[in-house]
Amino acid sequence: MKFIHLSDIHLLGTPSDKLYGIKPSKRFKRALKNIRAHHSDADCVVITGDLTNNADPGAYAQLKKQIDGLGIPVYPLMGNHDHRKTFWKFFPEFRDGNFVQYVREFDNRVFLFLDTLVEGEEYGLLCEERLAWLEKQLKRYADRKVYLLMHHHPIRSGLYRMDTVGNFRSAKAFWKLLSRYDSVQHIFFGHLHRPMQAFHRSVSLSATRSTTFQVAYRPDETAEHLTTSVQPAYSVVKLDEEDMAIHLCEYLGEYGVSRVED
Ligand SMILES: [Fe+2]
Ligand SMILES: [Fe+2]
């Protein structure tokens, strides 16, 4: 199978609104255009959270309008900038109980979409209710290849802000639960606004860039370091019987189909 990993699109209320001098709506639109042109055979597109910047209803409306015309199923997640009730007004189908958590099956593979949002906070977690939901799914799909998708990073990133005010606060309970199952193959996450590959024991993890602004890796600084000078990108994930390959695609410049502009 093949799927697209998009993250942190940070849509604003109207398409012409700018964030750090760039238009998130335009950049997202161009990502979808590029996906349609070059990866129309993808089984799905996942967006690992921060769908909006301010949880504006207009931003969710734009998201719905843009993905409805894509022709590939899109599976969105909550990020710390999102708001569940506003999201559900436009996407009521992505819900189990009180959270934006759900399951999708692709032959022998199972994707578990997790909700790490604590509304109004930059950090994320899985409360007892969400951990119980995850445990139920892990039990149910114990003999399948399981992939987790979530916004917050369940490991230390080495980025000061992301590991303090913006961290994932259920890591201990999360990994303890996962240690009881050998079905989890990989975890896809967002939030960092930069690509990252990692392992926790035998479980591999990866993040992709934002389609809007990026975060520079400055381990010597304790200040947030945002940048718009790095190109936006999405990842193409190819899963074969035994292999997984992840390609970062800088869609504004690759393939020669579009120029770098905002
Ligand atoms: Fe973000
Ligand atoms: Fe985030």
Rg of the chain over Cα atoms, rounded to whole angstroms, equals 17
pLDDT at 217: 87
pLDDT band per the 50, 70, 90 thresholds, residue 256: low
**pLDDT tens digits for range 191-211:** 999 999 999 998 999 999 999
pLDDT at 224: 63
Average pLDDT, the chain: 94
**What is d(CA 108, CA 145) in angstroms, rounded to the nearest whole number?**
6
Residue 53 CA to ligand 1 center (angstroms) comes to: 8
Residue 94 CA to ligand 1 center (angstroms) comes to: 20
Residue 239 CA to ligand 1 center (angstroms) comes to: 26
pLDDT at 235: 98
| CATH superfamily of the 2-256 domain | Metallo-dependent phosphatases (3.60.21.10)
pLDDT at 78: 98
Q: Which residues contact 217 (CB under 8 A, 6 or more apart)?
A: 158, 159, 194
**pLDDT tens digits for range 81-96:** 999 999 999 999 999 9
Residue 253 CA to ligand 2 center (angstroms) comes to: 25
With a cut of 80, say whether residue 163 has pLDDT above it: yes
Q: Which ligand is the nearest neighbour of the Cα of 11?
A: 1
**What is d(CA 198, CA 185) in angstroms, rounded to the nearest whole number?**
13
Tokens of 251: 């869609």
pLDDT band per the 50, 70, 90 thresholds, residue 119: very high
With a cut of 60, say whether residue 262 has pLDDT above it: no
Residues with CB under 5 A from ligand 1 (ion): 8, 50
pTM of full prediction above 0.85: yes
Residue 55 CA to ligand 1 center (angstroms) comes to: 12
- The share of the chain scoring above pLDDT 70, in percent, equals 94
| All structural domains of the chain with their residue ranges | 2-256
With a cut of 90, say whether residue 255 has pLDDT above it: no
Q: Which residues contact 68 (CB under 8 A, 6 or more apart)?
A: none
**What is d(CA 262, CA 228) in angstroms, rounded to the nearest whole number?**
11
Pairing verdict, β 234-239 and 214-215: unpaired
Tokens of 77: 């997640």
Residue 126 CA to ligand 1 center (angstroms) comes to: 18
Residue 37 CA to ligand 1 center (angstroms) comes to: 26
pLDDT at 127: 98
Phi-psi region of 55 (alpha: psi -120 to 50; beta: other; left: phi over 0): left
pLDDT at 260: 52
pLDDT band per the 50, 70, 90 thresholds, residue 258: low
With a cut of 70, say whether residue 164 has pLDDT above it: yes
**What is d(CA 184, CA 91) in angstroms, rounded to the nearest whole number?**
27
Query: Looking at residue 256, what DSSP letter applies?
Result: G
Average pLDDT over residues 88-111: 98
pLDDT at 14: 97
Average pLDDT over residues 231-238: 97
- Pick from 255, 233, 207: nearest CA to 27: 233
With a cut of 90, say whether residue 254 has pLDDT above it: no
Q: Which ligand is the nearest neighbour of the Cα of 116?
A: 2
Q: Which ligand is the nearest neighbour of the Cα of 189?
A: 2
Residue 125 CA to ligand 2 center (angstroms) comes to: 12
pLDDT band per the 50, 70, 90 thresholds, residue 223: low
- The share of the chain scoring above pLDDT 90, in percent, equals 88
Q: Which ligand is the nearest neighbour of the Cα of 162?
A: 2
